[in-house]
A = this chain, B = another copy of it.
Amino acid sequence: MEGVDYLAPERNNAQFDVDEMKIVWAGSREAFEVSDRIARLVASDPNFRKDDRTTLGRKELFKNTLRKAAYAWKRIIELRLNEEEAKRLRSFIDQPAFTDLHWGMFVPAIKGQGTDEQQEKWLPLAYKMQIIGCYAQTELGHGSNVQGLETTATFDPQTDEFVIHSPTLTSCKWWPGGLGKISTHGVIYARLITDGKDHGVHGFIVQLRSLDDHLPLPGITVGDIGMKFGNAAYNTMDNGVLRFDHVRIPRNQMLMRVSQVTREGKYVQSNVPRQLVYGTMVFVRQTIVSDASTALSRAVCIATRYSAVRRQFGSHNGSPETQVINYKTQQARLFPLLASAYAFRFVGEWLKWLYMDVTKRLEAKDFSTLPEAHACTAGLKSLTTSATADGIEECRKLCGGHGYLCSSGLPELFAVYVPACTYEGDNIVLLLQVARHLMKTVSQLGSGKMPVGTTAYMGRAEHLMQCRSDVKQAKDWLRPNVVLEAFEARAFRMSVACAKNLTKFSSPEEGFQELSADLVEAAVAHCQLIVVSKFIEKLQQDIPGKGVKQQLEILCSVYALFLLHKHHGDFLSTGCITPTQASLANEQLRSLYSQVRPNAIALVDAFNYTDHYLGSVLGRYDGNVYPKLYEEAWKDPLNDSVVPDGYHEYVRPMLKQQLRNARL
């Protein structure tokens, strides 16, 4: 960094080794090194500049994205980056592009659902980007309810082909990223129909555009679905609409790993277990959770640094004003988000382990932990993405007026992030799935079937129903077991209360519908327990580095006690804690904030984000905010001329009382 470091005093105050914390954050020294190297590579290459993109019109913005995608691919080849490095590169470019879907959804779908033969044919083309693919599931009329998709793939035994067709307007594919303008191929989900029989939704590889001139193939109508939320943000992506008019594809383009259609048109299941698809789902959701920690930590980094730069009120006899980070209200809004970023990081790390565990078990045909793993990842996806979306917006507000400027980086971060609450499963729909799993688990408790994984605590039903917290002083709340027991008891009792209430209805399904809002709350309580417990587990590991573990212990307590305070009604109404204990927790929380304060800047430095990646004048590493805000302002196109375009036609006639004759 050149020039003055306005935040140096803050950095000097830190009570721990930042470099060691960077390793913890990254997951390993190796992961840190890759990430650090690639981040610098992107940051130092002017081809990846992004500070101008919020003023670009849609077409320019899209072209800009195409250029970056091509340039990135060129660099990946030139530098012989491996898969992980290439992934990091794309993520540090920080501009959603068709390549995200190609690598993140199209390729994995073929890997997961294609036969060996299909993989051999299609993957090499995809790996070299000789074809570009998208993932086309959602339709205008159906998103959450995948089983309700309307596109049809009808087998024609005469020609050994499927006929892909959009029978209604609502059956148009709608939303797939990369589809609108770029993809040459797609994995298309459609109802398989053989001999008049509907076999439900299956995946098909369909070529969409000519590899010669990029024009849509006959029978295909395809385009972009239009502007989306925010400046730049997801408008760099060509989410698309797609209508099929009896498009024919060879039979071998149905993804046939799990089920097949024979030459005769017979529908047969292979001996590959259907559950395999869950493995992919766990993988994708693990990525989403880890992306949540990234997005939240970026916002927190910006808001924390700016809160240390920004001073407002509190000057006495000419002394400087108070840094707003010193206000307890600012701390009470900001530090729980800082703690959440770390919490989500660690639960994301644990999900990586879970994915490996599930994969291993699948290979050994052990499906026993699958339903639990499925519910748990659904819940964590929902919890972390919702908290992150809200958290980014809170960080924006924490920056006062200046947070509303695009140059703060926060508006775009919010707009580009929020769809994570909706895609890969609407967050409420996912929590309802978690709730179903919890109700099933509770109902089986008497039966001797022991709950597994993250629901294992329910096995201690008797204890959890009757335990009462023995917190007597504020500092008792620092003991991990005390916290854990309170969260377990609360989650369990909320689930049990729901289960009890369900029995009052004439049918369980009616009860589930009626009580679904309560069930969602019980699911949230369960998911919060998971995050808290994984944070605590993380701290049982050996963590080297001066002061590093202590800082994480503080953050872990902040995360747990913040949740406890926010939801103290749950803890009180279920009798897990007393009002006095709740207020002791709050007291402890306040004192923890004071402990975080001197380390706050270093704790966000540990994310190791470059100024390029942060893309925020307010979050600059050097804290040199004001001159840069001022500089940025003048770059707006409106400042190209002193007198704005439109003045002569519209403003002058108004000022000169000559509107009557003006052509408007």
Contact = CB atoms under 8 A, between A and B. Distances in A.
A638 interface: yes
Contact of A423 (B321, B401, B626): B401
Given A633-B223, A659-B73, A426 B400 contact: yes
A79 to B, nearest CB: 13
A224 B659 contact: no
A409 B77 CA distance: 42
A440 interface: no
A590 B639 CA distance: 54
Nearest to A632: B226
Nearest to A209: B643
Interface string A580-624: 001100100010000000000000000000000000000000000
Given A62-B638, A226-B406, A145 B397 contact: no
Contacts of A140: 626, 629-630
A345 interface: no
B405 A225 contact: yes
A17 to B, nearest CB: 30
Contacts of A128: 657
A376 B638 CA distance: 40
Interface in A122-151: 128-132, 138, 140-145, 148
B175 A229 contact: no
A450 interface: no
Contact of A66 (B74, B145, B403, B644): B644
Interface string A624-664: 00110110111111111011111101111111010110101
Given A328-B517, A569-B569, A411 B415 contact: yes
A234 B411 CA distance: 12
B223 A327 contact: no
Interface stretch (A51-59, A290-298, A475-483, A542-550): A51-59
A280 interface: no
Interface stretch (A34-42, A213-221, A281-289): A213-221
A47 interface: yes
A227 B401 contact: no
A582 B573 CA distance: 8
Nearest to A131: B655
Interface stretch (A176-184, A351-359, A533-541): A176-184
How many copies of the shown chain assemble into the complex?
2
Contacts of A77: 659-660
Contacts of A71: 664
B645 A63 contact: yes
Contacts of A655: 129-132, 184, 211
Given A226-B635, A231-B227, A569-B568, A74 B630 contact: no
A660 to B, nearest CB: 7
A131 B423 CA distance: 50
A514 interface: yes
A650 B516 contact: no
A515 interface: yes
Contacts of A145: 312-313, 321
B419 A404 contact: yes
A142 B312 contact: yes
Interface in A182-204: 182, 184
Given A400-B144, A516-B327, A644-B181, A57 B57 contact: yes
A644 B582 contact: no
Contacts of A211: 655
Interface in A309-323: 312-313, 315, 321
Contacts of A513: 327-328
A329 interface: yes
A428 B329 contact: yes
A85 interface: no
A20 B360 CA distance: 66
A14 interface: no
A463 interface: no
A69 interface: yes
Given A170-B626, A411-B230, A646-B66, A181 B129 contact: no
Given A67-B664, A644-B62, A646-B67, A579 B575 contact: yes
Given A55-B57, A230-B411, 13 more contacts: A58-B637, A67-B650, A74-B659, A77-B660, A143-B312, A211-B655, A214-B651, A229-B230, A231-B231, A328-B513, A332-B517, A397-B422, A573-B583
